[in-house]
Amino acid sequence: MIFNPPMYFPTPAAAGGSVTVLGTSTPTTGTTDTTTVSYNLSASSNCIVVTVNCWFFTFSTPSISSVTWNGVSMSSAVSILGQNSSFYVISAIYTLLSPTTGTQNLVVTVSSGATNYQITPQILALSGVAASSIVAATNSANASGNDTVSLSTSSATNAIRIGARSLYDGSGTLSFTAGGSTTISENIANNGVGGTFGAYSSSSPSGSFTLSSTWAGGGTESADAAVVAAIKAA
């Protein structure tokens, strides 16, 4: 089954420097240990951020082995594994400064031993990102059996927040609330097999920022994972 997660990426508010979202790749779902996404990266981009959302049915613990752009390894900002029996999910965020622009390949490799699974990466092309130490703050949570996940990134002024959530469940509605004011809702129908989801927020508050996601699913969550990262502006 091919499943494309819903995404949301508004224009960021300016607060001193600001990060601009130049574009995103079409969500691509792979069902083998290696998933390749070809993307034409704008020459104006000074950073790419990749969300990787996965679910697995396997009897061995899965992991993300590598994420590369044009053969260059990307840095892991945050990652978390969720499990319930033989059901696993992973949500992760990767970054790369000064990426090669033009049409290049993103390659995500996992180690899973899975008999049934999906790997869904998506590229976020950014400009205006700081020249070093770009990850201001991260947070992550497992929420199996808990429909709402709230992740706060404090002391991350002037940064774009990127959040992602993966779960293994039936159909339902996923709602993200960014900074307590922006609500993103999507209807999901994945035939009870599983799903991966992502959301992006570009608010730039001073102090604490919270990205909450609520799953009002048609089934019982068997595994759940959520992450958020704040990427600093120049």
What residues form DSSP beta bridges with 140? Answer: 227
Highest mean pLDDT out of 122-126, 159-163, 167-171: 122-126
Residue corresponding to tokens 């704040």: 230
pLDDT tens, residue by residue, 162-211: 878 777 765 556 566 666 544 444 444 343 334 445 555 555 544 556 66
51 has pLDDT over 50: yes
pLDDT tens, residue by residue, 77-110: 999 998 888 888 898 999 999 999 999 999 999 9
- How confident is the model over 203-221, as a mean pLDDT? 58
Which is nearest to 163 in space by CA: 224, 91, 81, 227?
227
Residue corresponding to tokens 């590229």: 123
- How confident is the model over 41-59, as a mean pLDDT? 91
Band of residue 214 on the pLDDT scale cut at 50, 70, 90: low
Which is nearest to 198 in space by CA: 189, 211, 208, 182?
211
6 has pLDDT over 70: no
H or E segment at 116?
Answer: strand 116-127
Q: pLDDT exceeding 70 applies to what percent of the chain?
A: 66
pLDDT for residue 68: 98
Higher pLDDT, 74 or 8: 74
End-to-end, the C-alpha distance of the chain in Å comes to 41
pLDDT for residue 172: 58
Say if residues 172 and 218 touch (Cβ distance below 8 Å): yes
pLDDT for residue 72: 98
pLDDT for residue 113: 82
* Residue 17, number of CB atoms within 10 A of its CB: 14
Band of residue 58 on the pLDDT scale cut at 50, 70, 90: confident
The pTM is what?
A: 0.82
Residue 32 neighbours by CB under 8 Å, 6+ apart: none
Which is nearest to 34 in space by CA: 122, 107, 92, 123?
107
pLDDT for residue 14: 39
Q: Domain-by-domain residue ranges, the chain?
A: 20-232
Both structure tokens of 74: 């990307």
Instruction: Give the three-class secondary structure for 158.
Output: coil
Band of residue 7 on the pLDDT scale cut at 50, 70, 90: very low
* Burial profile 112-137: b = 16 or more Cβ within 10 angstroms, e = fewer: bebeebbbbbbbbbbbbbbeeebbbb
Which is nearest to 146 in space by CA: 90, 220, 40?
220
The C-alpha atoms of residue 50 and residue 76 are separated, in whole angstroms, by 9
Residue 139 neighbours by CB under 8 Å, 6+ apart: 78, 151, 152, 153, 227, 228
Distances (CA, A) of 216 to 85, 174, 221: 22, 7, 10
